[in-house]
Amino acid sequence: MSEENDLIVVYAGTSVDASFVKSLLEGNGIITFLEDKMMGTLAPWIVAPGGAGAVKVVVAKKDLDKAKFIVQKFLDERASD
């Protein structure tokens, strides 16, 4: 696997939030994967954003800058609600 295709976590949180972020990224042409989705679905009460049991959104390194911008916009809008 080339370095530009290395996978990087750009978001970690609840199953619902991670799925929403995944949709935002894919809507902007970024291929994403979810890690630890089963744990976040089976035991959501132990999921801490970015902590143990969090569902992680993963993208290719080549998409990192664009993904970080989209995730930050999501976090900023969520914080202003």
CATH of the domain at 9: 3.30.70
Question: If you compute the radius of gyration of the chain from its CA atoms, what whole number of angstroms results?
Answer: 12
pTM for this model (two decimals): 0.78
Confidence of residue 55 (pLDDT cuts 50, 70, 90): confident
Residue 49 sits in which domain range? 3-69
Does 28 map to a domain?
yes
What pLDDT, in 10s, does the model give residues 2-45? 666 699 999 998 888 999 999 999 999 999 999 876 554 555 55
66 pLDDT more than 70: yes
58 pLDDT more than 90: yes
**Residue 77, H or E segment:** helix 64-80
CA distances from 10 to 42, 59, 75 (A): 22, 7, 12
The Cα angle at residue 24 between residues 9 and 36, in degrees rounded to 5: 40
Does 59 map to a domain?
yes
Does 35 map to a domain?
yes
Task: Give the residue with greater pLDDT, 47 vs 35.
Answer: 35
**What is the structure's pLDDT at 80?**
87
| Count of domains for the chain | 1
Q: Classify burial at 57, counting beta carbons within 10 Å of its beta carbon; exposed 0-12, middle 13-18, buried 19 or more.
A: buried
DSSP 36: S
Does 77 map to a domain?
no
